[in-house]
Amino acid sequence: MIWNYIESTIGNYPFLLVAITLSLVFKLFIFSNTIKKLLHATTRVRLWILLAVILFANMVSDVTWIIKLSTLLFIPTIDYRIMLFIIR
């Protein structure tokens, strides 16, 4: 019974859209702080750069999921080729 509730909540498109948007905002906050630290870092600069690159790649992934979920929720009649071009 509880598993059905959890599955229906997590599998819900609006919930996923909100969760991924919050994830993007959180990563953007961490990314901005990482860039600030990188500009003032004197040691371990490569580690800060690696962290910034990884965060940027994850933010791109979040943006593609937001676009995908937005098309499923708000614009379901959009041509698949256009959506695929945006996502790729």
pTM of the model: 0.81
Angle, helices 2-10 vs 13-40, to 10°: value is 60
What are 29-69's pLDDT values in tens digits? Answer: 999 999 998 888 888 888 989 999 999 999 999 998 998 88
Residue 9 has pLDDT above 80, yes or no: no
Evaluate whether 60 touches 42 at the Cβ level (below 8 Å): no
